[in-house]
A and B are shown apart, each in its own frame.
Chain A
Amino acid sequence: MLIWACAYLLAAIPALVLMRLAHVPAAPGGELSGFLKDLISMLREQYKLDQDKRLLAGKWAVAFVAILVWPLAVAFWVSEFRPKPETPARLPDSEDAFEIKSAHLLRTVTAAEAESQAIVFDPLGRVSALPFGHLNPGWLRLLSQMQDGDTLWYGEVPGRQLPFPAPERHVQFELPIGAKRGYAIQRQGKVVADFLFEWD
């Protein structure tokens, strides 16, 4: 027990010495022995040297990073002023000119089959008796473009589905908008002409 008490008291001695060393230089009129003055002076000098080293190391680190980064910065700056080649988002497709595209084709038909299903009747007689009624000129125009080896297809284009974006979203349509049905001529795997007989 006595040993532990002595150890406890002895441990306080270094703490008291350190407190004294820290307090006395700030206290006006404090006096220290020559040894302690030299010790404090040495510690202060050492601290100042360490601080200078840290500052110097920081400056060197910044300089090193700057040396590494500046070529990248210059390259970025140059690239901003260099004219950029305009690359289209998608290559133009010859089918862009038509409403019905290859993806919309459903089945092949003959002209006779298409005409047999295209007789329009109106009880008031307000439609032509020709195939596809009032649209007969467009149908004849399509047939005039047929060449040997071409294929006549029936196709459907799906419409826009609800909900619409603003400003149409308040309108409560039930049916899709923009749905289309018609025929198309396909040549060497590409649609080269189309004819729509239903279109809103």
Chain B
Amino acid sequence: MNALLSEHLILRGEKMVLDSQPLGGFFKINGHPSGLGGHPRWRGYAATWEIQDGRLYLVAVDGGQDVGLDTLFPDFLEGVFAHWYTGELRCPGGKRLQIAHRLYSVLTEFDVFIAVKKGVVTKERVVMNTLTPLEDDDPAFEAEHQKLMSLPRNAHLRKKD
């Protein structure tokens, strides 16, 4: 995953890469704003989100010179409650798994999944990603594989009611 293309989520003060695009649904519902086309990022913007008190807020939009939070939501410069979003946010974290990188582009040591219903967080969990047996005999890959295989799988941190 290229960080330049990524959305970000601030979770408990830590900024993580977000592998979801909640603003994409918003644009499809309300229409794409003009001015996004000239941005070098492929979808024309990169948004930053934050979980505050169990709710998902849009806190920044980098859409080039013409599109930002001030142009999209001029009355909500401190943040926008993402009540339109229902789904599961995914934040890949940790080191990229090199052997997986040969097959996939985004598999990292763990994923943080945040289930959201109408903008409200309903569940949060962490999944430790493990690797399938390697065919590569590189000792560095083997060591990394052994380390990751020793970690607990599907470790759930907490569940919000």
Contacts and interface: CB of A to CB of B under 8 A. Distances in A.
Contacts of A167: 103-105
Given A124-B52, A124-B81, 15 more contacts: A122-B81, A124-B53, A124-B57, A126-B57, A133-B83, A133-B84, A134-B84, A135-B26, A172-B113, A174-B125, A175-B88, A198-B86, A198-B118, A200-B87, A200-B88
Interface of A: 99, 120, 122-124, 126-128, 133-135, 137-138, 166-167, 170-175, 177, 179, 181, 195-200
Contacts of A99: 28
Interface string B48-89: 000011010100000000000000010110111101111110
B35 to A, nearest CB: 17
Given A124-B79, A135-B29, A170 B127 contact: no
Given A167-B105, A170-B100, A170-B129, A200 B20 contact: yes
Given A122-B55, A175-B87, A200 B81 contact: no
B10 interface: no
A53 B34 CA distance: 88
26 contacts: A120-B81, A120-B118, A122-B55, A123-B53, A124-B52, A124-B55, A124-B78, A126-B81, A127-B80, A127-B83, A134-B30, A134-B73, A134-B81, A134-B83, A135-B26, A135-B29, A135-B30, A167-B103, A167-B104, A170-B107, A171-B107, A174-B88, A174-B113, A196-B29, A200-B22, A200-B88
B29 A173 contact: no
A137 B30 CA distance: 7
Top 9 nearest A-B pairs (CB, nearest first) are: A200-B87, A199-B25, A122-B81, A127-B81, A126-B81, A175-B88, A198-B86, A167-B104, A120-B83
Interface string B110-135: 01010100110000010101000000
Contacts of B20: 200
A199 B107 CA distance: 25
Contacts of A172: 111, 113, 127, 154
B119 to A, nearest CB: 8
A175 B115 contact: yes
Given A170-B107, A172-B111, A199 B90 contact: no
Contacts of B78: 124, 126
B86 to A, nearest CB: 5
B18 to A, nearest CB: 13
Contacts of A179: 86-87
A172 B86 CA distance: 17
Interface in B7-44: 20, 22, 25-26, 28-31
A195 B107 CA distance: 35
A172 B129 CA distance: 9
A53 B32 CA distance: 85
A179 B129 CA distance: 25
Contacts of B22: 200
Given A122-B55, A173-B88, A198-B86, A133 B81 contact: yes
B90 A196 contact: no
A127 B119 CA distance: 11
B29 A199 contact: yes
A173 B113 contact: yes
Query: Which has the most chain B C-beta neighbours within 10 Å: A126, A171, A175, A200?
Result: A126
Given A179-B86, A200-B25, A126 B113 contact: no
